[in-house]
Amino acid sequence: MKHISTAAAIAIILAATAAFTLWMYETPDSPPVQIGGSEARALYADDLRTEIIDVRDPAEYETKHIAGAISLPLPAIERDAPTAIPDKQAPLIVYCDSGQLSAIAADTLAAMGYTRIRDLGAMANWGDQPDPKRKTPDCGCTTKQHTCFLLPLPPTP
């Protein structure tokens, strides 16, 4: 009887160790980092793999967004992120209107295994004022009634 309880204890310890090891490997390498507009613009300009992700409602995205951003609404992020952003090591910049949804999105993406997440918070933190003359087709967007925030121009070779 004593051997059965020892064997059961060993089995429990091994199961707990295995569960902890799996949890450790599924945890992202680094938690989301909050950044300001100048850091976000520099990251976007310096690394071509950087994705800017607007997690607001699609109607808000259609009205105004950072040029180059993709619309990935928070309610659909778990379903759509693997297709929209297949590279889990690509730098990601997430934003919304106030910073609340972007924080949730950043944590969700981290839990999904994305490792280089930067939370801009509110879209206004991007820092540039919208250019009222820059409308479709100049910004590359498909909607006609919106304003895009300007991006820094890459250096010319």
pLDDT digits (tens, 9 = 90+) for 46-101: 888 999 999 999 999 988 888 889 999 999 999 999 999 999 999 999 999 999 99
Residue 68 has a pLDDT of 87
Q: What are the start-end ranges of the H helices in the chain?
A: 2-26, 37-46, 58-63, 77-84, 100-111
Residue 111 to residue 107: CA distance in whole angstroms = 6
Whether residue 5 lies inside any domain: the answer is no
Mean per-residue pLDDT, 4-29:
56
Whether residue 86 lies inside any domain: the answer is yes
Q: Measuring CA to CA, which residue among 87, 125, 124, 85 is closest to residue 105?
A: 85
Whether residue 87 lies inside any domain: the answer is yes
Whether residue 101 lies inside any domain: the answer is yes
Whether residue 6 lies inside any domain: the answer is no
Strand partners, 121: 95
* Length of the chain measured in residues: 157
Whether residue 78 lies inside any domain: the answer is yes
pTM assigned to the model: 0.67
Residue 34 has a pLDDT of 93
For 19-32, write each residue's pLDDT tens digit: 444 443 444 456 88
Whether residue 21 lies inside any domain: the answer is no
- Structure confidence at residue 139 as a pLDDT band (50, 70, 90): low
* Whether the Cβ atoms of residue 136 and residue 53 lie closer than 8 Å to each other: no
Whether residue 85 lies inside any domain: the answer is yes
Domain extent at residue 51: 29-149
Domain tally, the chain: 1
Q: What CATH number does the domain containing 69 carry?
A: 3.40.250.10
The residue whose two tokens read 């992020």 is 77
